Amino acid sequence: MKNRVFFPQATLDQWLFDNRIELRSDVLRLTEEGRRFRIIEALRVLREVSGADDRHELIGRVKTRAFLLELGAEVLEHSMILGDNAYDVVQGFIGAPIGSFAEHLAASPRSAAMGITSDAELLAHFVSASVH
């Protein structure tokens, strides 16, 4: 199974504003690094807030918006209602790398020169650079 990463919407908005990423259809591209991810809308479920049991076992998980809507969820901003449950959620996207990391290194001398050896390292570097 390929590695996947959750990109919160607020973070993507800031990266777009800073010209650190490009979005085209369902592809997110890290501008300087050139690494591409296929993305799909998703929600990260933070906590159940009504006191009901989490019978769908969603707390702490990231699920696609389509999957949750199919279950009958209603989503508004940072809240989701599913049956008797109410959840706090973070909206965003799940991203899966396009192609292997070896293919990325062959096409991106920048990543290779920095000694980055995996998507996890690349994303850690990318995120730490956005904090400074």
Domain range annotation of the chain = 5-131
Centre a 10 Å sphere on the Cβ of residue 98 and count the other Cβ atoms it contains. Answer: 15
SS3 15: helix
Block means of pLDDT (10 residues each) for the chain, length 132 residues?
A: 85 95 96 94 97 95 97 96 97 95 85 85 86 57
> Which pLDDT tens digit goes with each residue over 25-41?
999 999 988 999 999 99
